[in-house]
Amino acid sequence: MTTQELVDQIWKKKSFLCIGLDVDLNKVPSYLLETEDPIFEFNKKIIDATHHLAVAYKPNTAFYEAYGLKGWKSLEKTIQYLNTNHPEIFTIADAKRGDIGNTSAMYAKAFFEDLAFDSVTVAPYMGKDSIEPFLSFKGKHTIMLALTSNQGAFDFQTKTIGGIELYKKVLETSKEWQNSKNLMYVVGATKAEFIGEIRKIVPNSFLLVPGVGAQGGNLQDVCKYGINDQIGLLINSSRGIIYASKESDFDVVAAEKAKELQQQMEEILKAQS
Ligand SMILES: O=c1ccn([C@@H]2O[C@H](COP(=O)(O)O)[C@@H](O)[C@H]2O)c(=O)[nH]1
């Protein structure tokens, strides 16, 4: 999917919501555990109930890898379900990959070619040659960690090295890389006070913003300085939506929670247009 197609979807659905599909079998209703593939059945119900309210879905691969081969199969079925039934949806494999070049090339092939995700998250720590293999995929997007939502972000990312905070260095350096038009960045909603500074460095890039909902981040705070001409934001909520009910009405309640966020986004878009 091109960036313009994503922007068009945002305006069409009046939403820049990304729903995180972080399936934990300890949190799904017990009747699903009797089905052949509870993870996929859970995702299918969430997608069916919420696809009109969201422009993106983000399975975090850890929640699938934790269940071994069966979990990977559920991930594959989920992305196939999305690509077949909702090709207008932007898909994100939250895998936080990155390694020496030839290994990164294999990660990129796995997520972009085999699984056919639109995007994958990567960690910047190993530098340019670890990210370039992802960036070389035409029509695909690489979403690099910039300033993460967790407390540990202050251990390294905000530290000043050579006169500049590390997260700023990551943004400034990576925006000069070849095919950097395929780059987006992860910025935690819990770090909203940094977004103005981030926008000065990458005014035009899309930001994937996790941390609204369970982690306490605030949508309005993020949007205040985060929105750009193309909207430029994908706001993720995972637990706050998919586990809003742990009973058999989980899909209905997930849709209600997604609708609450979508309506706030609609108001923000109205003020923007
Ligand atoms: O800085 C980051 C990067 C990634 N994440 C991931 O996003 C979701 C958030 O889930 P919630 O349940 O809405 O808190 C999850 O997959 C994280 O691994 C993040 O939170 N922060």
Give nearest CA residue, ligand 1 atom 16: 60
Q: CB-based burial of residue 123 (10 Å sphere; 0-12 exposed, 13-18 middle, 19+ buried)?
A: middle
- Residue 78 CB less than 6 A away from ligand 1: no
Of 183, 227, 163, 254, the residue nearest 11 (C-alpha): 227
Question: What beta strand segments (E) does 48-189 contain?
Answer: 56-58, 90-97, 119-122, 141-147, 160-161, 164-165, 183-187
Q: Residue 180's pLDDT is what?
A: 96
DSSP string covering 167-221 = HHHHHHHHTTSTTGGGEEEEE-GGGGGGHHHHHHH-TTS-EEEE-BSTT-B-HHH
Nearest CA to ligand 1 atom 19: 210
pLDDT tens digits, residue range 102-148?
A: 999 999 999 999 999 999 999 999 999 999 999 999 999 999 999 99
Res. 273: pLDDT tops 90 = no
pLDDT at res. 90: 98
Is 169 a pocket residue for ligand 1 (Cβ < 6 Å)? no
In the reported structure, the alpha carbon of residue 244 is separated from the centroid of ligand 1 by a whole-number distance in angstroms of 16
Q: Which domains does the chain have, with CATH numbers?
A: 3-272 (3.20.20.70)
Atom of ligand 1 nearest to the CA of 187: 1
22 lines ligand 1 (CB under 6 A): yes
- The answer to whether 144 touches 183, Cβ cutoff 8 Å, is yes
Mean pLDDT of 155-176: 97
Burial 211-243 (b: 16+ CB within 10 A, else e): bbbebebebebbbebbbbeebbbbbbbbebbbb
**Is pLDDT of 253 > 90?**
yes
Please give the distance, rounded to the nearest whole angstrom, from the Cα atom of residue 148 to the centre of ligand 1: 9
Per-residue pLDDT at 272: 87
Distance 121 CA to ligand 1 centre (A): 11
Could you report the per-residue pLDDT of 36-93, keeping only the tens digit for each? Answer: 999 999 999 999 999 999 999 999 999 999 999 999 999 999 999 999 999 999 999 9
Length of the chain: 273
Does 150 score more than 90 pLDDT?
Answer: yes
- CA gap 139, 159 in Å, rounded: 34
**Atom 7 in ligand 1: which residue has the minimum CA distance?**
210
Q: How remote is the CA of residue 113 from the centroid of ligand 1, in Å?
A: 24
